[in-house]
Amino acid sequence: MWSATETALATPELLEAILLGVDMRTVLISAQRVCRYWRELISQSGPLQEHLYFKPRRTTYWDDLEENQLACVALPLVFAEYVIRLYTPRA
């Protein structure tokens, strides 16, 4: 008999909801290495692919856009220039 934790982690919808609450770096680097089932779920789940910025988010408003935090850390000069241009008033 499985425990409640094992049952939750074996249910794709529940595992997906849990992983959507986990930070992007952990899902990208650690969660995919737990087991093949988790890796397959992460690679096939649309919402998780959006969470990892592998697929574009479906948004209609510019206010809903978010920065990719891993890209900001890896490429700070590129994103600093982008943010400055984004928020500088045009003459």
The predicted structure's pLDDT at residue 25 = 87
Contact call for residues 11 and 45 (beta carbons, < 8 A): no
Report how many domains make up the chain. Answer: 1
pLDDT band at 88 (very low <50, low <70, confident <90, very high): low
Tell me: the pLDDT tens digits for 53-77?
Answer: 888 877 666 666 677 778 777 777 7
Contact call for residues 25 and 18 (beta carbons, < 8 A): no
Minimal CA–CA distance to 12: which of 46, 38, 30, 33? 38
Which pTM was predicted? 0.68
Stronger pLDDT, 65 or 3, i.e. the higher one: 3
Contact call for residues 38 and 15 (beta carbons, < 8 A): yes
Contact call for residues 72 and 79 (beta carbons, < 8 A): yes
Domain that holds residue 43: 4-87
Stronger pLDDT, 44 or 62, i.e. the higher one: 44
The predicted structure's pLDDT at residue 41 = 94
